[in-house]
Structure 1
Amino acid sequence: MGNRVSILVFGTSPPCQKCLQAEREARQAAAQFPPGEVTVEKQDAFSETGQKYGVMITPAVVINGRMVAAGRLLTEPELVELIKKERGD
């Protein structure tokens, strides 16, 4: 229980509204857990990291190395559930 969770939010540069919203939702979800347990990092979809995860459509969300959404905006409650699963809560 309480495993660390890393969230990567992939978007375009400059970011579109959906990409900005995806990052906002992820940060709000992360804020519901103890500080430092859930990290959120914004990444460019066309970066090497984006290629590594096969990002073809934005926004895309990767949690602990696993793509959980592509081309779809995850809401804060959806992300909280995914984080809880990842943590083993």
Structure 2
Amino acid sequence: MDIKVLGPGCKKCGTLAEAAKKAVEELAIDANVEKIDDMVKILSYGVMSTPALVINEKVVVSGKVPSVSEIKELIEKA
């Protein structure tokens, strides 16, 4: 599973990245969590507000920081 956190490096972006890592750890799944701060790459996903969470190349959250439990649900649905 491929998980990406899109954001320019703001506090919320860091918080989302940590929450995503914690969700992966709690689910005990094999997933790669990658932080992307390149604005060209972020815009290529069609994201206009950050932070954003991308699971398997699909934007699932944009403009907010979901809780760890919400992220776990999103991962399980993916």
Q: Same fold (TM over 0.5)?
A: yes
Q: Does structure 2 conserve the Cα–Cα contact (< 8 Å) formed by 1:22 and 1:59?
A: yes
Instruction: Spell out the pairing of 1:24-35 with structure 2 (5 A cutoff).
Output: 24-34=18-28
Mapped partners of 1:45, 1:10: distance in 2: 8
Distance 1:50 1:70 in 2: 11
1:51 Cα offset (Å): 2.2
Which 5+ residue runs of structure 2 have no aligned equivalent? none
Aligned to 1:8: 4
- Normalization by structure 2: what TM-score? 0.88
- Relative to structure 1, the CA distance from residue 8 to residue 39 in structure 2 (aligned partners, 3 Å threshold; closer, same or farther) is same
1:21 aligns with 2:18: no
Q: Percent identity, aligned pairs only?
A: 37
Structure 1 outlier segments of 4+, above 3 Å: none
For residues 45 and 29 of structure 1, what CA distance do their matches in structure 2 show? 24
**Structure 1 gap segments, 5+ residues each:** none
- Compute the RMSD of aligned alpha carbons: 1.4
